[in-house]
Amino acid sequence: MPIAAPFPAVRLLPAVLLLTVGVVPSAFAQSAAPPATLVDVAPVRQAQVASGREFVGTVMPLKLATVGSAVDGRIVDFPVERGDRVEAGDTLAQVLTGTIDLELKAAEAQLDLSRQELAELENGTRPEELRQAQARATSADATRKFLETRRRRVELLYDRSSAMTRDDVDEAAAAQIEAEQTYQEALAALELAQAGPRPERIAQARARVALQEATVEKLQDQIKKYRIQSRFAGYVIAEHTEEGQWVNSGDPVAAVAALDEVEVEAFVLEEYVPFIRPGISARVEVPSLPDRTFVGAVSSVVPQGDSRTRTFPVRVRVENVIGEDGPMMKSGMLARVVLPTGAETDALLVPKDALVLGGPQPVVWAIAQAGVSGSESGGERQGEARAVPVRLGVAQGDAIQVIGDLSETDLVIVRGNERIIPPRTGNPTVRWTPRPPRDGA
């Protein structure tokens, strides 16, 4: 009895081991297969493109300005440093404006006075002033009538008796004449009040206001010149003064370069210049940015070449990438420009977002449509993606010519390709939802 008890446990141990061994490989196999990556795809397009050649170029700012001072004075504020980004209208430096500020205040006060005087004339006579003039005219008329009656009475007494002398008669006559003139003066004042200011006086007042407005605007314009500002958005690349330094009119203050868009200038041999015209697409690579490729357009072909090298400057305008650390392409960087310089041939084009750069050779992730599974009515599709090394050719719009193991029936991954993790064996599985084609696609 004591010997038989251990046997059942011994017989169960292999079963437990077999169960464990049978479960572990299955779970490991499931975890080894990564889930399908969600991506966006686009078709490979076939088109006629011209053969291209690569030219060495230099990244240049779209605009470059050395901003100077328009006035003499002392710099009291210099808020920028080399490398700072500035927007159009931002202050680069401020010149002291103490005296001209006082002149502006005085001119503005004089302008306000002139405007009030003009308003007084344009508003005309107030009702109270009219009543006052009417009252004076009425009072003067009453006095005139009284003195006229008194004169007659004095003359009558002088003729009938000796109670009045000749002096009394003359005095009464003089008082009556004075009263008559006072009445006429009051009557004229009433008529002037009723008529209001003369048009000529209003015109003179308006002219004084206009003259003073011009004086104020002149001083305001002068004060604006004391604030030295950037005329466009860009980056400060040079400082020519400091706070506290005296500058004369015309002295440089700072240099600003516009880098939101850049121009890559390449020198093209004269035999290729006839194939290049403004507006055609061009691919730009910057060796110091190996994981990025840019597509721009020829902005100009300078018609003056170098007589020694027989080359002509060609400029390609490219939209820069602005990050938290500033512009990705910086002025003075070495660049390579691929320009169409030959006859047109059939080529395969893919969107530039399909390119995976940074390795020894550009790669695109391609999907053969023959292996695609899923709904045919616009639902989610699934397929295997393969990495295809390619060589790059010329650009056409936002697409780039690729040379490699591709066909026009393939799809290429344009979004999500950086998330693809190749399995140890085979090709990764990806899934996507077909999108309706864009207009003109």
pLDDT tens digits along 98-114: 888 899 999 999 999 99
Closest-CA residue to 115 (of 212, 217, 219): 212
Q: List, for residues 351-377, the tens digit of each pLDDT value.
A: 988 898 877 888 999 998 877 877 666
How many CB atoms neighbour CB 226 within 10 A?
A: 18
Domain 64-97+231-256 = CATH 2.60.40.10: no
Q: Which residues, including other chains, have CB under 8 Å from residue 435's CB and lie 6 or more apart?
A: 40
Q: How far apart are CA 344 and CA 341, in angstroms?
A: 9
What mean pLDDT comes out for the span 5-10?
Answer: 38
Residue 15 clears pLDDT 60, i.e. is over it: no
Instruction: Please name the CATH architecture into which domain 35-61+257-432 falls.
Output: Beta Barrel (2.40)
The pLDDT, as a whole number, for residue 25 is 45
Please indicate whether the domains covering 35-61+257-432 and 64-97+231-256 agree at the CATH topology level.
no
The pLDDT, as a whole number, for residue 107 is 93
Q: List, for residues 102-154, the tens digit of each pLDDT value.
A: 999 999 999 999 999 888 887 877 788 788 888 988 998 899 889 889 888 88
Average pLDDT, the chain: 85
Residue 31 clears pLDDT 70, i.e. is over it: no
User: Residue 143 is which amino acid?
Assistant: T
Show me where the domains of the chain are located. 35-61+257-432, 64-97+231-256, 104-221
For 4, the token pair is 């038989």
**Phi and psi at residue 406, in whole multiples of 5°?**
-130, 160
